[in-house]
Structures are given as structure tokens and as C-alpha cells.
Structure 1
């Protein structure tokens, strides 16, 4: 589903990774196809 999804780093591979926020933007597949086609 489209939207913004928030999380935190779950890998301990360096200093302060537990404080590293993550944001994922999910978009409809047709928007992605249009973007990737125009990027080539």
C-alpha cells in the first residue's frame, strides 16, 4: 500500500546504529515504472 513507513536500523555494525532512523516511501507500481522508464 502507498505511504511512508518508519523504522530503525536493526543491525549492530557500527557506532550509534540503534539511533539510525529509516523512512521508506511506498508508491504505486505504475508510478515506479514511469520513473524508471524516464531515468534510462
Structure 2
């Protein structure tokens, strides 16, 4: 079970890392938006 969960987590992390590279603009916008909201609040 642990091995399976670790493998799944690694795959998810890889997908998350690869996704931003393809859509850096979207990722940056979301990050800036979240930061702006926190700062404004």
C-alpha cells in the first residue's frame, strides 16, 4: 500500500510540475491573484 501511494504521489507531483511548464502564464496569474488577495485582506 505504501509503495503504491508513494508512486501515485510522485506521479501527481510530476504532473503538477509539468503542467505549470506548459501553462506558466495561467500558473503565474493564479499565484499573483492569490497573493494579491491575501495582501489586500
- Report the TM-score when normalising by structure 2: 0.34
Q: Which has a greater percent of strand?
A: 1
Larger relative contact order (Cα-Cα within 8 Å, sequence gap ≥ 6): 1
Q: Which has a greater percent of helix?
A: 2
- Report the TM-score when normalising by structure 1: 0.35
